[in-house]
Structure 1
Amino acid sequence: MWIRSELKEKGKINFKRFYWKSVLVCFITLLLGGGINSSVGNNTYNSTINNNYGYEENYDDEYFDEYYDEGFISNIFEGTESFFSDSFFFMFTGIAIVFAILGFIIKLLIVYPIEIGKNNFFMGIREGEKTLDSLIFIYKSGNLKGTIITMFIKGLFQFLWSLLLVIPGIIKSYEYRMIPYILSENPGISRQRAFEISKLMMNGNKWDTFVLDLSFIGWEFLSALTFGILGIFYVNPYVQGTNAELYAYLREDALNKGYANSDELLGF
């Protein structure tokens, strides 16, 4: 059985051997994967609501009731009718659809291949130096279409399972976790075998892997305090190096137990 502290120590040692390349690979993956986002917190929203629609304890009941009855509801209906009858609504919908399609295409053609390439890099530096070309090796492999379909099905299955409730979606995400790593050493493997091998690898390892992920919460918190700077220069490569060590252990275990062979897991 693998030991969490040992995986993390090995992962740390490996990424530090090729520190700047590891940082750059993670940064490129982060950018292309849409990992840098900004959002408005609920506090800002609640503050706005309270400022605009809140009231003091000594408000005028009669004025409020009159405004609500005569003005508020009619304004809502008039505004809604105007929005849906206006050409702006159709333009807005069209733009939203275009952006959704573009996002989907980018995920298929860029995000998925780069994720697999990132795994190939971190698995490769366990044995020796790897170039940044590892990020785009899928494009050169001749198996781009097959890997994209496998990754798409993986994401689709996770989404469908998550509709049942949160827990089944989480369980399936861990069951499918090793698929991008399997593809990173053998892009030509069949979709069925990639799912099957990942499932066998994670059998009995889901909970421990979940705990492994939780062990990085402190680092993620510190990264947030530094506005992601610590994440870029330390936490992200650390996590990826550790995940590579986990796959290396499960891969060796799969070969030893015979539910995968060297013709399927080709190495890095």
Structure 2
Amino acid sequence: MWIRSELKERGKITFKRFYWKAVLVCFICLLLSGGLGSGAGSRVSDTYDSFMHNDYNYTDDYYYGNDEYYYDEDLDQEASDSFNIMEEFFASGFFLLFIGIFILIFIVLFIIKLLIVYPIEIGKNNFFMGIREEEKTLDSLIFIYKSGQLKNTIFTMFMKGLFQFLWSLLFIIPGIIKAYEYRMIPYILSENPDISRQRAFEISKRMMGGNKWNTFVLDLSFLGWEILSIFTIGILGIFYVNPYVQSTNAELYAYLREDALKNGYVSSSELIGF
């Protein structure tokens, strides 16, 4: 059984050997995949909190707050005016324009995720697995584009994300469990992009059998570093935490890979090395 502290120590040693390349790879991945859609949720939450915590009180026939009085008739008139404005908006062309822009943005982000984020994520894993043995070039990030298996890897990664989303609809816990069950799929694809979707899912499931909880604890062990990174406005994350985490995850896959080969539920023709 793998030991968390040993994986982290080996990961730390590995990325420090090729420090600047490891930092650059993580930074490129962060630029491509991080922060999409961030801020919108917090703005909605702030709006809701502002409304719910406004200093309004209710007595028999009026509301009062901040020395201003609002009678029921006034509120009814305001509500009526608001409904009229909403009705005019939905009836106008601006609503259709808004929907069209929203759909266009969604499609563009979806295409970016398929054609750029997924392949670069797999390339990142290929880089961090490779530097365990020798120096790797930044070309590792785009090796999927050169492999001739771009379509297969995109489809597999898309199905991984889709299944995780569908399981998360059954409340949060099933989605988290499946996320850990599918965790090794990007590593398997980074080693053999030609492998079938069904086989990649099957191998990842076998690898993570009995390892999901320990991997969850491994992730939690980086929580302190993540908090420190927040206090440094992400600078610590860029120059230390992110490559540290990626190198440790590569060590975890390396252990599970060797265990899979030793136990015979995967062959060397499927996990062909880096």
TM-score range relative to shorter protein: over 0.9
Q: Give the distance between the partners of 2:68 and 2:113, measured in 1 at CA.
A: 54
1:116/1:181 contact within 8 Å kept: yes
User: Is the aligned partner of 1:65 residue 2:72?
Assistant: yes
- Count how many residue pairs are aligned between Structure 1 and Structure 2: 266
**Structure 2: segments with no counterpart, 5+ residues:** 59-63
Offset of residue 43 of structure 1: 7.5
- Write the distance in 2 (CA, Å) between the matches of 1:248 and 1:35: 29
1:54 aligns with 2:71: no
2:61 is aligned to none
Q: Within the alignment, does 1:249 sit opposite 2:250 as a pair? A: no
- Segments of structure 1 that go 5 or more residues without pairing to the other structure are none
**Alpha-carbon distance in structure 2 between the residues aligned to 1:134 and 1:61:** 65
1:180 CA displacement: 0.2
Cα deviation for residue 95 of structure 1 reads 0.5
Counterpart among 137, 153, 166 of residue 131 in structure 1: 137
Shift of the alpha carbon at 1:210?
0.3
Moved over 6 A (4+): none
Which secondary structure does the structure 2 equivalent of 1:107 belong to? Answer: helix
1:226–1:37 CA distance, 2 compared to 1 (3 A): farther
The yes-or-no answer on 1:19 pairing with 2:12 is no
Deviates more, 1:57-66 or 1:192-201: 57-66
Q: Which deviates more from structure 2 when the two are superposed, residues 110-119 or residues 71-80?
A: 71-80
Alignment-derived partner of residue 239 in structure 1: 245
Q: Tell whether 2:123 aligns with 1:117.
A: yes
TM-score (norm 2): 0.92
Output one character per residue of 1:131-162: Cα deviation in whole Å (capped at 9) or x when no partner: 00000000000000000000000000000001
Partner amino acid for 2:71?
Answer: F
Q: What is the RMSD of the two structures over their aligned residues, measured on CA atoms?
A: 2.0
- Cα distance in 2 for residues equivalent to 1:249 and 1:34: 28
CA distance 1:254–1:95, change in 2 (3 Å): same
Quote the residue 1:94 is aligned against.
Answer: 100
Q: For residues 233 and 76 of structure 1, what CA distance do their matches in structure 2 show?
A: 50
Task: Tell me if the contact between 1:30 and 1:36 (Cα under 8 Å) persists in the aligned partners.
Answer: no
1:48 deviation in Å? 4.2
Q: Does 1:159 align with 2:165?
A: yes
Equivalent residue letter for 1:149: F
Q: Is the 8 A contact 1:182 1:194 kept in 2?
A: yes
SS at match of 2:71: helix
The structure in which a higher percent of residues are strand is 2
Q: 1:233 to 1:36 in 2, by over 3 A?
A: farther
Contact 1:118–1:134 (Cα < 8 Å) also in 2 = yes
